[in-house]
Amino acid sequence: MERGVPIRAVSRSIAVLQCINRHGSLSLMEIARGVELPYPTTFRIIQTLLYEGLIECEPSRKHYRATQLVQTLAVGYRETGNLLIRARPHMVALTRKQSWPVSLVTHVGQSMMVRDSTHSETSLSFCNYEPGYTLPMLECASGHAYLAHVPDDDRLSMLAGLETLERRSHMLEMFKGDKLVQRIRADGYATCDRNPHSAVPRKTSSIAVPVFEGPRVVGAMALVFFSSAMPMADAVQRYVLDLKAAAAAISEELTRDQMAAPDAAAKSPASRQVAPRSTRTDLALT
């Protein structure tokens, strides 16, 4: 096997576990469709995850759900930075103004992961997206906004990783070129009409804008609305300016914090050099 090429069985097993975790409870056929794998392959993976105790079969029906043991996969993870702290007030304010829920999403592996959302802050939502909900990078507005704003070499590297998976998307070729990337950069936002991978497929649409820390894109913020409520063009006209303003405010605060960090470190007691004892004695005797 070439260096850097993933082990297919591991990649497929992770995809199955993520699919179950994303939806809460699924039948074997629903899982197979969700990860686009043959039924026999999905069955073998399910049997392995059952054996390891990461999933269980519901007693009343042939549906599979994650167990508490999946939490052991995140024991060593620690949140870094203050992205969530800085973003939350602006997300809540935007939802209160426009009524629609807003999600903060970051890049994790081959996916975009919801880190925080205001779905619980409004009645204009089909469900509450808890932190950890993942979306395919090439098939969501936040993924498009993020991909378009990473350095070109990083984008191509991510696309090469996505290309090793079983799934194929026409968006892969589009993001390899410059036309779509330059358009999203010029517009400052990306859209996804009738989201195919939400908890309620094709019932919602979204608009996403990038969030920066200095020159580096660190995530995206997406406003989600009912697809039946209005055409995408109307949503863009109504919400993009407020969405951009919120993202700009978050980016400004993150950048300011980043610039202040070296000064704070320099002023900390641990950073101060303590003179050797002999030097302090000599000074005291002069």
In-domain check, residue 233: yes
What are the CA-CA distances from residue 277 to residues 246, 263, 268, 282, 284 (Å)? 53, 27, 21, 9, 11
Mean pLDDT over residues 109-122, rounded?
90
Tokens (6 digits) for 80 = 């870094």
Find out whether 134 and 18 touch, Cβ atoms under 8 Å.
yes
pLDDT band at 276 (very low <50, low <70, confident <90, very high): very low
Q: Report which of residues 22 and 229 the model is more confident about.
A: 229
Which residue, of 20, 47, 72, is where some domain finishes?
A: 72
Same domain? For 149 and 210 the reply is yes
| pLDDT recorded at residue 122 | 94
Same domain? For 97 and 193 the reply is yes
Number of domains the chain contains: 2
Predicted confidence (pLDDT) at residue 33 exceeds the cutoff of 50: yes
Rg (CA), the chain: 23
Query: What is the model's pTM?
Result: 0.71
Domain ranges, residue 100: 83-265
In-domain check, residue 275: no
Same domain? For 113 and 245 the reply is yes
Same domain? For 175 and 133 the reply is yes
pLDDT band at 271 (very low <50, low <70, confident <90, very high): very low
In-domain check, residue 282: no
Same domain? For 202 and 228 the reply is yes
| pLDDT recorded at residue 282 | 38
| pLDDT recorded at residue 104 | 96
Find out whether 181 and 151 touch, Cβ atoms under 8 Å.
no
Burial of 238-255, coded b for 16+ CB within 10 Å and e otherwise, reads bbbeebbebbebbbebbe
Same domain? For 43 and 163 the reply is no
By the 10 Å C-beta count (0-12 exposed, 13-18 middle, 19+ buried), 201 is classed as exposed
Same domain? For 124 and 228 the reply is yes
Same domain? For 221 and 103 the reply is yes
| pLDDT recorded at residue 228 | 95
| pLDDT recorded at residue 166 | 52
Same domain? For 66 and 96 the reply is no
Per-residue pLDDT tens for 167-210? 567 889 999 999 999 999 999 999 999 998 888 889 999 999 99
In-domain check, residue 93: yes
Tell me the CATH number at 185.
Answer: 3.30.450.40
Per-residue pLDDT tens for 144-171? 999 999 999 999 988 888 887 655 678 8
HSE-CB of 48 using CA atoms within 13 angstroms: 13
- Can you list the alpha helix ranges (DSSP code H) found in 99-224? 141-149, 152-163, 170-176, 179-187
| pLDDT recorded at residue 263 | 57
Alpha-carbon distance of 125 to 282, in angstroms, equals: 72
Same domain? For 210 and 102 the reply is yes
| pLDDT recorded at residue 286 | 29
Same domain? For 40 and 87 the reply is no
Tell me the CATH number at 67.
Answer: 1.10.10.10
In-domain check, residue 46: yes
Predicted confidence (pLDDT) at residue 213 exceeds the cutoff of 50: yes
In-domain check, residue 286: no
User: What percentage of the chain has pLDDT greater than the value 70?
Assistant: 85
- Can you list the alpha helix ranges (DSSP code H) found in the chain? 8-23, 28-35, 39-52, 83-98, 141-149, 152-163, 170-176, 179-187, 232-267, 277-285
